[in-house]
Amino acid sequence: MPKTPIIPPGSAPPLAPYSPGVKAGNVIYVSGVLPLDAEGKVIGAGDAAAQTRAVLEAIKAIVEAGGGRMSDIAYCNIFLADMAHYAAMNAVYREYFPSEPPARWCIQCGLVRPEFLVEISAVAHLA
């Protein structure tokens, strides 16, 4: 099955050798997304809610560039630098998935740079 990289215009430059998203058949795999702007600068330093919003907007851009919608997301992996950010992340996350939210898991872990508080990856299944 062929796969197609998805790199939306204005997306943050990858910090390593990966594509922001890949479409294979009717599935879009979204890499772990960090709160970075198009120039690679951190969005929402010190603010987990702002970082979650930036991450979910980037995921939305990737999924839409692949022909999907946020409602097509079936699964998310959420990484938090500190579980103290769980409530702030959830408040924003709920806005993007108001009904029938995807399956997910959430863990606390060290992220690639200390200024990152939130990272999310996703899998979308297109109808």
Annotated active-site residue 106? The verdict is: yes
Instruction: Round to whole Å and give the CA distance between 44 and 12.
Output: 14
Q: Alpha-carbon distance 30 to 84, whole Å? A: 25
Q: What is the DSSP letter of 43?
A: S
Which one of 42, 70, 106, 111 is the catalytic residue? 106
49 within 8 A of 88, measured Cβ to Cβ: yes
Residues annotated as catalytic are 106
